């Protein structure tokens, strides 16, 4: 998120706008934690993971009196347009804010699950994938050295994108995700055959939404007669210095967001589809169901059976 904040503020200034930043998200709008951008505030944030501005959910923002307080905070500073870096929850909150007070916004999709409808890519995904890849590569060293089976659980409540992409990138033998029906009997037969031909370790990657991390680990021990361990990567996936790809994508998303607002667009989420940047209305995003690329699913089907 930090590269997006830096790029949006600097580009907006070049286009003659006076940029501000809001600390702690929706809560910051209510509390008035809004600051004019300075070079010092943006300096040294490009390489930092997470967000220097902070992020928080705010139940109070669903109360009209607190949204009115947020609007007054913006009005006092002469702020007439907003850019929000986040997911569906943030976009819907700002959409309600627009309905109440007419403050237009442009959304930049940022969620490591990569599960926002209408866009092929969300900021943070490549960084998360590289964190997972590094972790799995390290676990493979232990698995091969001690002839063990390891199950690695990635984030992804309803979307298996991280697990599928990571499984392919790291050469995992098993992958369980919400999008693909799995067959443990078939997997066991395949693994026994591979063991008979010399395989002495096994890696399985599971999306948290499947709820099979512990069960698959026990199953590997029982069905395959292997010493099996589970590693839940958890929130380590949300950290790490942004990759080059995420930094460049952040700049492009930010430029598109500023341009959209200056063109008079309202309630638009910036999208990246088939290699091209565009935008969709928040209603289009909310009414559409996200689906993982069918080609990615096909590539992973053999790892689920």
Query: pLDDT tens digits, residue range 33-73?
Result: 999 999 899 999 999 999 999 998 899 999 999 999 999 99
Residue 63 annotated in active site: no
Question: 2-124+242-289 is classed in which CATH architecture?
Answer: 3-Layer(aba) Sandwich (3.40)
| Model confidence pLDDT, tens digit, residues 140-161 | 999 999 999 999 999 988 999 9
pTM comes to: 0.94
pLDDT digits (tens, 9 = 90+) for 173-192: 999 999 999 999 999 999 99
In this prediction, residue 212 has a pLDDT band, given cuts at 50, 70 and 90, of: very high
Q: What is the mean pLDDT of residues 128-150?
A: 97
Between 267 and 230, whose confidence is greater?
Answer: 230
Which residue of the set 88, 113, 115, 126 is catalytic?
Answer: 113
Q: Summarize the confidence of residues 195-214 as an average pLDDT.
A: 95
**Distance (Å, rounded) from C-alpha 297 to C-alpha 295?**
5
Comma-separated ranges of CATH 3.40.50.450 domains in the chain: 2-124+242-289
- 217-241 pLDDT, tens digit each: 999 999 999 999 999 999 999 999 9
Confidence class for position 101, pLDDT limits 50, 70, 90: very high
**What integer pLDDT is reported at residue 165 of this predicted model?**
98
pLDDT confidence of residue 105:
96
pLDDT at residue 246 in the model: 98
Is a pLDDT exceeding 90 seen at residue 171? yes
CATH of 126-238, one of 3.40.50.460, 3.40.50.10490, 3.90.1150.10, 2.30.42.10: 3.40.50.460
Question: pLDDT grade, residue 286 (50/70/90)?
Answer: confident
CATH 3.40.50.460 range(s) for the chain read 126-238
The mean pLDDT of 12-26, rounded to a whole number, is 97
Task: Please compute the mean of the pLDDT values over residues 79-94 and round it to a whole number.
Answer: 94
Query: Above 90 in pLDDT, residue 88?
Result: no
């Amino acid at each position: 998120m930090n590269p997006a904040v830096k790029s949006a503020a600097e580009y907006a200034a070049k286009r003659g706008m006076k940029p501000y930043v809001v600390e702690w998200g929706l809560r910051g709008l209510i509390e008035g934690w809004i600051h004019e951008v300075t070079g010092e505030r943006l300096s040294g944030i490009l390489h930092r993971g997470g967000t220097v501005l902070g992020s928080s959910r705010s139940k109070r923002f669903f109360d009209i009196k607190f949204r009115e307080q947020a609007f007054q905070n913006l009005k006092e500073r002469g702020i007439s347009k907003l850019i929000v870096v986040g997911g569906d929850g943030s976009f819907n909150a700002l959409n309600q804010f627009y309905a109440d007070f007419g403050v237009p916004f442009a959304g930049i999709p940022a969620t490591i699950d990569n599960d926002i409808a209408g866009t092929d890519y969300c900021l943070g995904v490549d960084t998360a994938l590289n964190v997972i890849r590094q972790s799995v590569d390290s676990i493979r060293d232990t698995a091969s050295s001690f002839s063990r089976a390891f199950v690695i659980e990635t984030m992804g409540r309803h979307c298996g994108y991280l697990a599928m992409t990571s499984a392919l990138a790291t050469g995992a033998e098993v992958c369980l995700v919400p999008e693909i029906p799995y067959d443990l009997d078939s997997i066991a037969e395949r693994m026994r055959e591979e063991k008979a031909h010399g395989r002495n370790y096994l890696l399985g990657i599971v999306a948290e939404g499947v709820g099979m991390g512990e069960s698959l680990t026990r199953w590997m021990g029982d069905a395959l007669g292997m010493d099996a361990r589970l590693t839940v990567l958890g929130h380590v996936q949300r950290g790490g210095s942004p990759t080059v790809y995420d930094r460049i994508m952040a700049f492009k998303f930010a430029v598109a967001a500023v341009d959209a607002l200056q063109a008079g667009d309202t309630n638009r989420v910036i999208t990246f589809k088939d290699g091209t940047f565009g935008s969709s209305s928040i209603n289009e995003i909310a009414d559409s169901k996200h689906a993982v690329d069918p080609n990615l699913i096909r590539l992973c089907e053999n790892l689920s059976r």
